[in-house]
């Protein structure tokens, strides 16, 4: 084999294809299948905003061919893959979703004429609600109209009585009204797209002209912010300024309804500076991420509800005193996030607490945690918060909360432009009888109570002095707002911190397994990640495979490692798991000749995580918690229901087995319920 790595973008598209497969899977409840279609569509929009600009730019520069990659033209192959997936998407809606909805007396009207007996209600909704938000504009009127990123529009061709043509752009106001309108009629439910309600009534908008053609479209724009490495002013001001420009970025996709005349497409390209390579013919309906708001939610058509498991911490004793006695591990969303909220609320109200330190990457819209930090500062405690303003698509919300906290007296730190802080750590200092005691949280996911409801993550609550003093060292470094020019000046013995020791320590642990295998000792590595791209670490895993080390990987999304290749990676297997929750936790288990080391953390093995971020991975020292993590990961490795194997051809293969069915998320929930 001449190449060593999968292309990252094609790998990501195969992951999104797996999400689409779930939408077509018979044993997934119907509304959940619709939700998976929404997730697929949302993911694809992000791909066009974040990755397609890179592929297009590299294609222009002639730099897409790589000696290490399996392909020579990833842009063309990505476009072909997307087209194939869009066709599959259409088949699933038409051939599966709509018939199944009808079986449940739910009629989703797609590409159909208006039912006469419902026209009065549809017309009333149009005149009383929809019409107020419609803004028709001449295509040629550049001063009055600029197509916004991912907004929906009609391009309408009109002709007057004398044969004069004009072209009008009409917005579809799905940002101000629900995308779907529901009518209950007897035992039947009818669901209409907002698009069609407008389309049905175009003759009422343009009474003096004839509609000769009507086509939906949307434009997707480059989402990258142009931030300078050295900026003398307030970083939040720079980001706010760039956010205003984001939706004016280069068009990476003009997605349009089939049948739009070529002369009109050319006119559009000329008017808005769109390159012909960005033209994509889709279906009649765009922004199908809006399916997440499908207005029917029958319990029988959804997953059975799993109630969050509550941790057995006493309500009568301080949470800090209980953590001091024993480490606690919260596994969301199986276990209730209320324990984490309790930690922050206690930090705000406990009179013995003097200082609080937190990193925030994606803040919840209605963040209880940020409010607790505001309360702590208002109570006179020293509160320091590193708010990462460069968390993509959460910049504005993070700025809002940073300003609120700053106004309340919280000391706000921003990372430097060239280095994101992706670590998820918190530190609390209490003074008890003139002694300062440390308590902390170390997590694999954001301190965000909203995403905690559907992201699988692990949060360690600990009073371990070794770990927490190193967390304190990290906050001292972050407060300086500088790149680590001499990483060896700060010694992290327990934590693995990107920019300091994370990559070297992971390489050393893999080398140790290689050494043990060479001695004839048992050797294995189990790693669970969201994304695996960085070539140095992948190459070391290849070395481990060639030395006879069994390497078991669970990689949800991007994976550039090619498994199962004789002489390179025959001892490496890769599983992908997609189910009701988003697999998000990162875990690293090294056999270590029978004395396993277990790490959890924020870091994927991506170039950005290793080289351009501050990440923290942390050891799990408590033996029972190590056993819990190991058992959870082993359940995931045994999944033969919602898992697929990634093969050497970058295909998702169903797990072939005669073993009893194991659906890991259900088994993890059952296990943690029993442990509780």
Return the structure tokens found at 553.
């990987």
Phi-psi region of 254 (alpha: psi -120 to 50; beta: other; left: phi over 0): beta
| Sequence-ordered strand ranges (E) for 132-209 | 137-138, 152-159, 165-172, 180-185, 188-193
Return the structure tokens found at 3.
């190449």
* Whether 256 is catalytic: no
Query: What stretch of H or E contains 30?
Result: helix 30-50
- The number of beta carbons lying within 10 Å of the beta carbon of residue 190 is 18
Burial degree of 485 (CB within 10 A; 0-12, 13-18, 19+): exposed
The catalytic residue among 256, 422, 584, 591 is 422
Return the structure tokens found at 353.
């607490």
Dist CA 453 CA 333 (whole Å):
5
- The number of beta carbons lying within 10 Å of the beta carbon of residue 294 is 21
| Contact present, 581 and 666 (Cβ < 8 Å) | no
Query: Could you identify the residue written with the tokens 């020019």?
Result: 485
Angle (CA) 350-356-360 rounded to 5° is: 125
- Among 620, 355, 348, CA closest to 475: 355
Query: Could you identify the residue written with the tokens 């430097």?
Result: 416
**Rounded alpha-carbon distances, angstroms, from residue 339 to 315, 318, 369, 445, 446:** 11, 12, 12, 15, 15
Query: Could you identify the residue written with the tokens 């390497």?
Result: 551
Q: Which residues contact 563 (CB under 8 A, 6 or more apart)?
A: 553, 569, 572, 573, 574, 646, 647, 648
Q: Looking at the DSSP assignment, which residues form a beta bridge with residue 108?
A: 191
Largest CA distance in the chain: 92
Dist CA 85 CA 442 (whole Å):
38
- Among 524, 552, 559, CA closest to 639: 552
- The number of beta carbons lying within 10 Å of the beta carbon of residue 351 is 9
Read out DSSP for 582-633?
Answer: EE--EEEEE-GGGS-EEEEES--BSHHHHHSEE-EEEE---HHHHHHHHHHH
Q: Dihedrals φ, ψ of 312, to 5°? A: -85, 40
Return the structure tokens found at 52.
């397609």
Buried b (16+ CB within 10 A) or exposed e, 500-509: bbbbebbeeb
Return the structure tokens found at 254.
């003009």
Length of the chain: 676
Return the structure tokens found at 427.
């530190």
- The number of beta carbons lying within 10 Å of the beta carbon of residue 614 is 26
Catalytically annotated residues: 422
């Amino acid at each position: 084999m001449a190449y060593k790595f999968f292309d990252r973008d094609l790998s990501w598209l195969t992951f999104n294809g797996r999400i689409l497969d779930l939408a077509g899977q018979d044993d997934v409840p119907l509304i959940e299948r619709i939700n998976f279609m929404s997730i697929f569509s949302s993911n694809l929009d992000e791909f066009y905003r974040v990755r397609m600009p890179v592929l297009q730019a590299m294609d222009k520069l002639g730099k897409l061919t790589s000696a290490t990659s399996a392909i020579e033209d990833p842009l063309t192959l990505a476009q072909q893959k997307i087209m194939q997936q869009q066709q599959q998407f259409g088949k699933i809606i038409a051939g599966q979703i709509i018939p199944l909805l009808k079986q449940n007396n739910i009629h989703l009207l797609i590409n159909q004429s208006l039912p006469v007996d419902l026209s009065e209600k549809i017309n009333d909704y149009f005149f009383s609600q929809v019409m107020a938000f419609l803004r028709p504009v001449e295509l040629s009127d550049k001063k009055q109209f600029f197509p916004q990123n991912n907004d929906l529009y009609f391009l309408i061709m009109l002709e007057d009585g004398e044969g004069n043509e004009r072209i009008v752009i009409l917005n579809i106001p799905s940002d101000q009204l629900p995308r779907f309108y529901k009518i209950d009629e007897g035992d039947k439910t009818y669901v209409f797209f907002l698009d069609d309600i407008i389309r049905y009534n175009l003759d009422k908008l343009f009474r003096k002209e004839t509609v000769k053609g009507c086509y939906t479209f949307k434009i997707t724009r480059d989402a990258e912010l142009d931030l300078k490495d050295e900026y003398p002013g307030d970083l939040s001001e720079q980001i706010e300024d760039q956010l205003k420009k984001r939706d004016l970025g280069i068009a990476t996709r003009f997605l349009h309804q089939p049948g739009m005349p070529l002369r009109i497409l050319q006119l559009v390209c000329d008017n808005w500076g769109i390159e012909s390579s960005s033209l994509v013919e889709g279906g009649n309906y765009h922004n199908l991420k809006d399916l997440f708001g499908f207005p029917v939610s029958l319990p029988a058509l959804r997953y059975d509800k799993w109630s969050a498991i509550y941790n057995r911490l006493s309500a009568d004793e301080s949470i800090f005193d209980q953590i001091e006695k024993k480490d606690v591990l919260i596994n969301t969303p199986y276990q209730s996030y209320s324990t984490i909220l309790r930690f922050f609320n206690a930090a705000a109200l406990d009179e013995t607490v003097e200082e609080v330190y937190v990193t925030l990457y994606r803040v919840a819209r209605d963040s209880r945690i940020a409010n607790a930090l505001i309360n702590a500062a208002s109570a006179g405690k020293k509160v320091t918060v590193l708010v990462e303003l460069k968390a993509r698509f959460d910049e504005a919300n993070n700025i809002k909360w940073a300003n609120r906290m700053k106004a309340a007296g919280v000391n706000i730190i921003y990372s430097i432009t060239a280095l994101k802080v992706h670590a998820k750590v918190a530190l609390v200092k209490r003074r008890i009888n003139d002694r300062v005691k440390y308590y902390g949280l170390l997590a694999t996911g954001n301190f965000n109570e909203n995403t905690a409801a559907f992201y699988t993550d692990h949060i360690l609550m600990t009073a371990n002095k070794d770990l927490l003093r190193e967390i304190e060292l990290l906050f001292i470094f972050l407060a300086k707002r500088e790149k680590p020019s001499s990483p060896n000046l700060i010694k992290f013995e327990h934590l693995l911190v990107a920019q300091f020791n994370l990559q070297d320590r992971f390489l050393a642990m893999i080398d140790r397994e290689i050494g043990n295998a060479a001695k004839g000792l048992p050797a294995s590595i189990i790693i669970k990640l969201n994304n695996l791209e960085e070539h140095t670490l992948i190459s070391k895993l290849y070395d481990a495979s060639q030395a006879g080390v069994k390497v078991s990987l669970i990689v949800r999304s991007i994976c550039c490692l090619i498994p199962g290749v004789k002489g390179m990676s025959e001892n490496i297997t890769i599983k992908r798991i997609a189910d009701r929750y988003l697999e998000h936790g990162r875990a690293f288990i090294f056999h270590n000749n029978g004395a396993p080391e277990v790490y959890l953390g924020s870091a994927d093995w991506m170039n950005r995580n290793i080289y351009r971020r501050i990440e923290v991975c942390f050891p799990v020292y408590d033996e029972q918690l190590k056993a819990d993590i190991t058992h959870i990961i082993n359940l995931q490795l045994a999944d033969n229901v919602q898992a697929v194997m990634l093969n050497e051809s970058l295909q998702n293969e169903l797990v072939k087995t005669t073993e009893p069915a194991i659906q890991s998320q259900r088994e993890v929930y059952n296990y943690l319920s029993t442990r509780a």
